[in-house]
Amino acid sequence: MTLEVTILSNLIHNEKYTRKVIPFLKSDYFTTKSHKVIFLEIHEYVGNYNALPSLNALGIECQERTDLSEDQFKDIMEVLSALSKEETDFDWIVDTTEKWCQERAIYLSLMESVKIADGQDEKRDKGAIPQILSDALGVSFDQHVGHDYLQNYQERFDFYHKKESKIPFDLEFFNRITKGGIPNKTLNIALAGTGVGKSLFMCHVAASVLLQGKNVLYITLEMAEEKIAERIDANLLNVPIQKLPELPHVMYENKINKLMKKTKGKLIIKEYPTASAHVGHFKSLLQELSLKRSIKPDIIFVDYLNICASQRYKGSIVNSYTYVKAIAEELRGLAVEANVPIVSATQTTRSGYGSSDVDLTDTSESFGLPATADLMFALISTEELEDQNQIMVKQLKNRYYDPTLNKRFVVGIDRSKMRLYDVDDAQKDLVDAGAEEQVVKKVQGKKSFAELKYD
């Protein structure tokens, strides 16, 4: 008795098994016409009558089909006669069926991919192949259908008291506004003009996470891998970036060896050509890192979002709003799928470039980006701040905490060493350092609600 016949036997004789596996089975998984037809009839019967069909019922349904030849009907009747009531261990047959489904899904996806690669599929191009393979690899018998509000109260209570896994910053005020760091399955965006410090911020955070012993993946579509590594060298080795080429080999090697003793984490920097890579490429990279290096990133940096490609759209066929929003949604989807936080950046508009008070409306190309992000903040630089070696951070959107608290704060910046640092003394001069106090003072100074409303 073959596995396919065993599966069909259990589908008509084992109701528990049928309820478990039938939502995940497909007729394409079966290799012969007779097996496919029998499965389709079982599936339709269960769907219509919410019960298991008898052999007689299946025989009658197959006899009434008009798409079967006499030989095909004869084969079907022979298979039906071979279906037995022999008991099979439930766990074994479920596990075996799941493995069979996975193997068949992968095989069919490979065949489908070959057709696309050979140009035999007129509707899809080669960009669809990664998603086809990814869907096949994701086949599993997952019975979770959602959270039952009344029945699952204990799970919910445990969730409220569970300490969420987060990646902390080495900067005090960033930890304050995120309640201790950025959690998994989130998209976090830095908004800044050209040359303000988007890449510097991401390189600094990547370096700090590496020192925590975590694995970091830094994807760059703007600068070469060596340029990103050079910035992180300046940060971690405490050497001005201009002085790195002058560093003797022995001293450079000693600094790297000391660094290796400080952390067990890995930092992988991968470069893609500008506007050519999308989430499908990033997923393939994650799989390669897992298979070839046994590395699973704890955080992913994408430098930067606007110059990624979209897996769903080609840039020439949609407007910039739709295109950039699609990229943001795909990146956040990757964060959920990989169970990691993703940090990226975006440019300000021309009007926001020189502004000392950047807002969400200054997001270039698409306002759909801030709608998708979990945390979004602006990096603002003025001549006055530059003179003091500082950069201002303004919260624009925050799903982790109240964005009106510490709405603005400053951090020190050492551009020569590509490093950020805390400057507590500078916070007291900011208008938004204590948002509640400002609101209280404003209300107390007004005689009526109308005066407050039209202030």
- Check: CB of residue 344 under 8 Å from CB of residue 331: yes
pLDDT band at 254 (very low <50, low <70, confident <90, very high): very high
Distance CA 388, CA 412 (A): 8
Over range 422-442, report the average pLDDT.
Answer: 56
H-helix or E-strand containing 280? helix 279-288
In this structure, the chain runs to a length of 455
The CATH number of whichever domain residue 25 belongs to comes to 1.10.860
Task: Confirm whether 23 is domain-assigned.
Answer: yes
279 and 382 co-located in one domain: yes
- Check: CB of residue 407 under 8 Å from CB of residue 432: yes
181 and 80 co-located in one domain: no
* 104 pLDDT higher than 80: yes
Task: Confirm whether 152 is domain-assigned.
Answer: no
**How high is the pLDDT of residue 149?**
87
52 and 198 co-located in one domain: no
* 112 pLDDT higher than 60: yes
Report long-range pairs for 33-41 (Cβ below 8 Å, ≥24 apart). Answer: 33/72, 33/75, 34/72, 34/75, 34/76, 34/78, 34/79, 35/4, 35/5, 35/8, 35/79, 37/62, 37/65, 37/68, 37/72, 37/76, 38/8, 38/62, 38/76, 38/79, 38/80, 39/8, 39/11
**How high is the pLDDT of residue 249?**
94
- Check: CB of residue 318 under 8 Å from CB of residue 366: no
**How high is the pLDDT of residue 365?**
66
128 and 263 co-located in one domain: no
Cβ-proximal residues to 340 (8 Å cutoff; 6+ apart), any chain: 184, 185, 297, 298, 299, 300
Residue 205: other Cβ atoms inside 10 A: 25
Distance CA 357, CA 193 (A): 12
423 and 287 co-located in one domain: yes
Cβ-proximal residues to 348 (8 Å cutoff; 6+ apart), any chain: 191, 192, 193, 355, 358, 362, 363, 364, 378
- Check: CB of residue 311 under 8 Å from CB of residue 270: no
Over range 442-448, report the average pLDDT.
Answer: 45
Task: Confirm whether 452 is domain-assigned.
Answer: no
Task: Specify burial of residue 185 (Cβ count, 10 A radius: 0-12, 13-18, 19+).
Answer: middle
Q: Based on the structure, what is the number of domains in the chain?
A: 2
Phi and psi for 159 in degrees, rounded to 5? -65, -40
pLDDT band at 315 (very low <50, low <70, confident <90, very high): low
128 and 173 co-located in one domain: no
* 176 pLDDT higher than 90: yes
- Out of 206-220, 315-329, 378-392, 436-450, the most confident range is 206-220
266 and 414 co-located in one domain: yes
177 and 67 co-located in one domain: no
Residue 172 sits in which domain range?
A: 166-444
- Packing angle of the helix pair 55-63, 70-82 (nearest 10 deg): 170
Phi and psi for 379 in degrees, rounded to 5? -105, 120
Report long-range pairs for 141-144 (Cβ below 8 Å, ≥24 apart). Answer: 141/20, 141/21, 141/24, 141/94, 141/97, 141/98, 141/101, 143/20
Report long-range pairs for 242-248 (Cβ below 8 Å, ≥24 apart). Answer: 242/416
Decide which of 88, 120, 137 is a domain's last residue. 137
**How high is the pLDDT of residue 240?**
94
Percent of the chain whose predicted confidence (pLDDT) is above 70: 89
* 261 pLDDT higher than 90: yes
306 and 358 co-located in one domain: yes
Lowest mean pLDDT among 111-120, 384-393, 418-427: 418-427
Cβ-proximal residues to 202 (8 Å cutoff; 6+ apart), any chain: 190, 218, 301, 303, 343, 344, 345
Decide which of 91, 117, 137 is a domain's last residue. 137
pLDDT band at 395 (very low <50, low <70, confident <90, very high): very high
* 399 pLDDT higher than 70: yes
Task: Confirm whether 160 is domain-assigned.
Answer: no
**How high is the pLDDT of residue 446?**
45
Sheet of 375-380, strand order: 267-271, 216-220, 299-303, 342-347, 187-192, 375-380, 390-398, 408-414, 419-422
Lowest mean pLDDT among 33-37, 132-136, 399-403, 435-439: 435-439
* 450 pLDDT higher than 60: no
Task: Specify burial of residue 238 (Cβ count, 10 A radius: 0-12, 13-18, 19+).
Answer: exposed
**How high is the pLDDT of residue 454?**
37
113 and 177 co-located in one domain: no
Residue 319: other Cβ atoms inside 10 A: 12
Residue owning tokens 């630089």: 381
Over range 327-343, report the average pLDDT.
Answer: 94
Lowest mean pLDDT among 148-152, 168-172, 197-201, 395-399: 148-152
pLDDT band at 194 (very low <50, low <70, confident <90, very high): confident
pLDDT band at 145 (very low <50, low <70, confident <90, very high): low
- Check: CB of residue 390 under 8 Å from CB of residue 426: yes
Task: Confirm whether 51 is domain-assigned.
Answer: yes
Q: Measure Cα distances from 161 to 116, 329, 374, 401, 428 in Å.
A: 49, 29, 22, 17, 34
129 and 171 co-located in one domain: no
Task: Confirm whether 183 is domain-assigned.
Answer: yes
Residue 208: other Cβ atoms inside 10 A: 20
Task: Confirm whether 154 is domain-assigned.
Answer: no
Task: Specify burial of residue 158 (Cβ count, 10 A radius: 0-12, 13-18, 19+).
Answer: exposed
183 and 317 co-located in one domain: yes
Q: What is the rounded average pLDDT for all residues in the chain? A: 86
Decide which of 85, 119, 137 is a domain's last residue. 137
- Residue 151 in tokens: 């029945």
Cα maximum dimension of the chain:
93
Task: Confirm whether 130 is domain-assigned.
Answer: yes
pLDDT band at 371 (very low <50, low <70, confident <90, very high): confident
**How high is the pLDDT of residue 132?**
82
Distance CA 20, CA 193 (A): 54
pLDDT tens for residues 22-68? Answer: 988 999 999 999 999 999 999 999 999 999 999 999 999 999 988 88
**How high is the pLDDT of residue 144?**
61
pLDDT tens for residues 295-313? Answer: 999 999 998 898 999 888 8
pLDDT band at 444 (very low <50, low <70, confident <90, very high): very low
The CATH number of whichever domain residue 247 belongs to comes to 3.40.50.300
